[in-house]
Structures are given as structure tokens and as C-alpha cells.
């Protein structure tokens, strides 16, 4: 059986190791960080994530979906917090079917679960505190540094898979070696900062528990996802620079004033606001597109290493998990020809990853601006009405992306056609109504 070296045991790395382990491959997984079970989890990354159908399907295939969902909190819709101290919250369900929900799940717990799933296979070996510093893609061999002992070492395999996230060292080595490697990275003008709403006095949730809370403020927004311990993790997405921005908000008073003006209902729930704001890092939001995602039968990229997207569709991890399913299917389809399997995997995933990148960028505008408008909410109601009236024929884009496994590119294409038909239908209906009114007036 072939030997794989995987670089990165984040969300996709752990899951992919489990898939490869199940197929009987020898797998060595190297992670630069310490074991997440030792509690040193990922500073600066989102503490919780929205897990939905694609991700759940990938976990089901390896038999760990129930284990993961045990710790999840269902979020049945968006709870909009309009601007203004007196404004009332508005709940907008995600789907016409009240049973359809996304799941708030802790990154650390999920990461631990996928790593443990991989370690159930005796042919999978996980080594923490091993940082990859480069890959010789022809041999292929990964150069590593044991960060506990400062000892360099190398690991050779039949194939090396980069599951090492948006700033992948494996991808950088491919970029250096492959002449026509396409690479594009683009950053938003917005950064993000995580803040906390602690549990209430009795350990309960101080806002509606089963919702994704959004404070849309046109050019920026805050969101909050519930955690099992009664707390919420809030994320402020805000401009790095500008008259009102992370750059200009320096003193404790600046922070308090900004939050009291923009999120007055949240401030009383955030006793550690100023400290959180000062101490937590400000993350950047990057979209990365590259091609190809493989080199011969020797190297391949999976997850954020191949296609980092901004987080506004809640799909980055779900897509990374879907990559694992597809790569596993391709390896099963061409067991004697890994180059063909990698090529097939790339061909099946690339257009979908590109479509998701676009959808995620568009959804930022929807979340931070449109969710506050009546027109948007009316369109959502119309979507749900049409979905109920035309089951299997009309499906809102959000439903296709979040609650089905329809490929992202197909979903985006289908939504464009549906929208065109709906708008055309509305125009025809208005013309008919106008004609009828004129006739009645005569």
C-alpha cells in the first residue's frame, strides 16, 4: 500500500487521515502545533464554526457525525439586531422547513474528534510539534522541524498532501517548482476580532440560543454563535483602516463609545468587552485561488491550502471536508493510478471552490447590509413560499449551498436562472395588474 505524508492536522487534515487510514494506506500526519487535547488551541482562529450538510455527510462517512453533533447547538435562523437602542430583534428562519438548521460547533472539540478518528487506525501516526519548512516535490520529501527539540528531520512518502491551511508551506513549494502554477490571493479591507458574551448567572444563554445573531451595520457587522457552556462567541468584522475602524479605535473610551453607538443591546452582555478588544488579535480575511492542486502522483492540496475563502457563507470547513470525500472517491476509483486520482479530484473540485469563493464574498454584503432591509426579508419570504409551492423545482441559493450537496458551481448557476425567472415573472405580473387596473378605470 502507498505511503502518504500529510502536513497539517487541522480540521481537514485529521479527517483526511481517517479516510486514508480506512483505505489501508500508511499515513504519517505532521502538525506544527501542540496536540489540541493539551488545550493550546489555535489562537486567533474562530472558536466556533457553523457545520452543515456537506460537512455532516463527510463526518457520517467515517462514522463520527453523531459524536460531533452531540456537542453542537442547532441554529435555526438569523436573529437580526437592527441599529438603534430601541430596535426589536427579528428572527428569519434559514429554511421553510423548520427542521433544517446549521450547527454551532467548537473548533477544538471538532479537531480533537477528527484526530481521534484517524488515530483509531493503527496505520495512521500523528506527530505534533512538527513544522514543515518546505517540500521537495519530486522525491517527494517534506523537510520538518521538531519544534520541541529544534531538530530538523525529513519525511519521504509516495505522496505528500498539503492540508496545512491558507498559508500552506506545501503550496509554496509547488509554486516555486511548477512553472505555470497559477496563484491569486486577495484580502478584504475588513479584519475580524473575536469577543465573548459569557454565560448568564445560571449558566444559561443570555440571548436566543438556537440562532446565529447578526448586527448588520451596512459597511461592517458583528455576529454571535452560541457555545455549549452558555456563552456566545461574537465576531466583529470591521474595516482595518478609515475614520471609524480598528486603526482609529485605540483607547478604552473609543471601544466603549463605538459599541454603545452600534451594538447597544450587546454591551450589557459583554462585561469583558474592552479587555477582549484589546487582547484578542485582529485577523485578516483572505481568498486564495490556485491551480493545479496536484503535482504528478506526488503532491496534492486539500482544504484551505487549495482554496481559502472568506467565512461569510460558513462553508470553508464544510468545503474542506467535502474535498476529503471527493479525494477518497477518486483514490478508490483509480487505486493503481494516483496521478489520475489527483487529476480527477482537482477537476471535480476546482470550479466548485471558485464558485464558493465568489458566493462567500457576495454573502458578506448580504449579511452586513441586506439582512437589515425589508426588501431582503420579503425576498426571503418569497423564496420560502416558492420553495414550498414548487418542491424540488425551486430551491433558494442558501438552501442549495447549506442543506444539500449540490455542487457549489451548479447551485450558483441554478440560483441565477431562478432569480431571472422570478424577476421576469414579477415584471409580467405587474404589467398584467397595471393593464387590469387601466381597464377597470376605463
Ligand X SMILES: Cc1cc2nc3c(=O)[nH]c(=O)nc-3n(C[C@H](O)[C@H](O)[C@H](O)COP(=O)(O)OP(=O)(O)OC[C@H]3O[C@@H](n4cnc5c(N)ncnc54)[C@H](O)[C@@H]3O)c2cc1C
Q: Can you give the binding site for ligand X, defined by CB under 6 A?
A: 7-13, 30-33, 45-46, 49-50, 131-132, 163-165, 169, 192, 235, 283, 303-305, 311, 314-318, 320
Instruction: Pick the closer one to ligand X by CB: 10 or 216.
Output: 10
- Beta-carbon neighbour count of residue 286 at 10 Å? 15
Q: Closest residue (Cβ) to ligand X?
A: 10
- Beta-carbon neighbour count of residue 30 at 10 Å? 26
We find the least distance from the C-beta atom of residue 218 to ligand X, in angstroms, to be 20
Instruction: Pick the closer one to ligand X by CB: 96 or 142.
Output: 142
We find the least distance from the C-beta atom of residue 431 to ligand X, in angstroms, to be 42
Instruction: Pick the closer one to ligand X by CB: 170 or 386.
Output: 170
Residues 110 and 50: their CA atoms lie apart, in Å, by: 11
Residues 6 and 13: their CA atoms lie apart, in Å, by: 7
We find the least distance from the C-beta atom of residue 253 to ligand X, in angstroms, to be 27
Residues 170 and 87: their CA atoms lie apart, in Å, by: 49
We find the least distance from the C-beta atom of residue 208 to ligand X, in angstroms, to be 18
Instruction: Pick the closer one to ligand X by CB: 28 or 386.
Output: 28
Instruction: Pick the closer one to ligand X by CB: 131 or 340.
Output: 131
We find the least distance from the C-beta atom of residue 410 to ligand X, in angstroms, to be 19
We find the least distance from the C-beta atom of residue 249 to ligand X, in angstroms, to be 19
Interacting residues of 137 by C-beta distance below 8 A, sequence separation 6+: 160, 173, 174, 177, 178, 295, 298, 299
Helix, strand, or coil (residue 159): strand
Residues 179 and 161: their CA atoms lie apart, in Å, by: 20
Nearest to 190 by CA among 58, 123, 284: 284
We find the least distance from the C-beta atom of residue 310 to ligand X, in angstroms, to be 8
Instruction: Extract the runs of DSSP E, i.e. beta strands, from 57-211.
Output: 73-75, 77-80, 90-93, 102-106, 124-127, 130-136, 141-146, 151-156, 159-162, 182-197
Instruction: Pick the closer one to ligand X by CB: 106 or 311.
Output: 311
Instruction: Pick the closer one to ligand X by CB: 285 or 331.
Output: 285
For the chain, the helix, strand and coil percentages under 3-state DSSP, each to the nearest 5: 45, 25, 35
We find the least distance from the C-beta atom of residue 332 to ligand X, in angstroms, to be 21
Residues 201 and 355: their CA atoms lie apart, in Å, by: 44
Instruction: Pick the closer one to ligand X by CB: 303 or 407.
Output: 303
Residues 43 and 194: their CA atoms lie apart, in Å, by: 11
Amino acid at each position: 500500500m502507498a505511503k502518504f505524508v500529510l502536513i497539517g492536522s487541522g480540521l481537514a487534515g485529521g479527517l483526511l487521515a481517517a479516510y486514508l487510514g480506512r483505505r489501508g494506506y500508511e499515513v504519517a500526519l505532521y502538525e506544527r502545533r501542540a496536540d489540541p487535547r493539551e488545550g493550546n488551541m489555535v489562537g486567533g482562529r474562530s472558536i466556533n464554526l457553523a457545520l452543515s450538510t456537506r460537512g455532516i455527510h463527510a463526518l457520517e462517512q467515517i462514522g463520527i457525525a453523531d459524536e460531533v453533533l452531540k456537542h453542537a447547538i442547532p441554529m435555526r435562523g438569523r436573529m437580526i439586531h437592527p441599529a438603534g437602542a430601541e430596535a426589536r430583534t427579528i428572527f428569519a428562519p434559514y429554511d421553510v422547513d423548520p427542521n433544517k438548521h446549521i450547527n454551532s460547533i467548537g473548533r477544538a472539540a471538532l479537531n480533537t474528534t477528527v484526530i481521534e478518528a484517524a488515530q483509531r487506525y493503527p496505520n495512521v501516526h500523528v506527530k505534533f510539534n512538527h513544522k514543515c519548512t518546505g517540500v521537495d516535490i519530486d522525491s517527494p520529501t517534506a523537510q520538518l522541524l521538531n519544534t520541541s527539540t529544534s531538530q530538523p528531520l525529513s519525511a519521504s512518502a509516495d505522496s505528500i498532501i498539503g492540508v496545512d491551511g491558507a498559508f500552506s508551506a506545501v503550496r509554496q513549494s509547488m509554486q516555486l517548482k511548477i512553472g505555470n502554477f497559477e496563484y491569486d490571493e486577495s484580502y478584504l479591507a475588513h479584519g475580524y476580532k473575536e469577543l465573548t458574551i459569557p454565560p448568564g448567572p445560571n449558566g444559561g444563554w443570555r440571548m436566543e440560543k438556537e440562532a446565529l445573531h447578526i448586527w448588520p451595520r451596512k459597511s461592517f457587522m458583528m455576529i454571535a454563535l452560541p457555545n455549549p457552556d452558555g456563552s456566545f462567541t461574537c465576531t466583529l468584522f470591521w474595516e482595518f483602516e478609515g475614520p471609524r475602524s480598528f486603526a482609529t479605535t485605540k483607547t478604552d473610551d473609543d471601544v466603549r463609545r463605538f459599541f454603545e453607538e452600534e451594538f447597544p443591546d450587546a454591551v450589557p452582555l459583554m462585561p469583558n468587552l474592552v479587555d477582549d478588544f484589546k487582547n484578542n488579535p485582529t485577523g485578516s480575511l483572505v481568498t486564495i485561488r490556485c491551480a493545479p492542486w496536484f503535482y504528478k502522483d506526488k503532491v496534492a492540496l486539500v482544504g484551505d491550502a487549495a482554496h481559502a475563502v472568506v467565512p461569510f457563507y460558513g462553508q470553508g470547513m464544510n468545503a474542506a471536508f467535502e474535498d476529503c470525500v471527493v479525494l477518497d472517491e477518486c483514490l478508490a476509483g483509480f487505486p493503481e493510478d494516483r496521478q489520475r486520482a489527483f487529476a480527477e479530484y482537482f477537476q471535480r473540485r476546482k470550479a466548485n471552490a471558485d464558485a464558493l469563493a465568489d458566493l462567500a464574498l457576495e454573502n458578506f454584503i448580504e449579511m452586513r447590509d441586506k439582512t437589515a432591509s425589508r426588501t431582503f426579508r420579503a425576498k426571503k419570504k418569497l423564496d420560502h413560499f416558492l420553495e414550498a409551492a414548487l418542491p424540488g423545482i425551486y430551491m433558494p441559493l442558501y438552501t442549495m449551498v447549506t442543506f444539500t450537496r449540490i455542487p457549489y458551481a451548479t447551485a450558483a448557476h441554478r440560483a441565477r436562472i431562478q432569480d431571472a425567472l422570478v424577476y421576469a415573472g414579477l415584471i409580467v405580473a405587474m404589467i398584467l395588474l397595471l393593464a387590469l387596473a387601466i381597464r377597470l378605470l376605463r
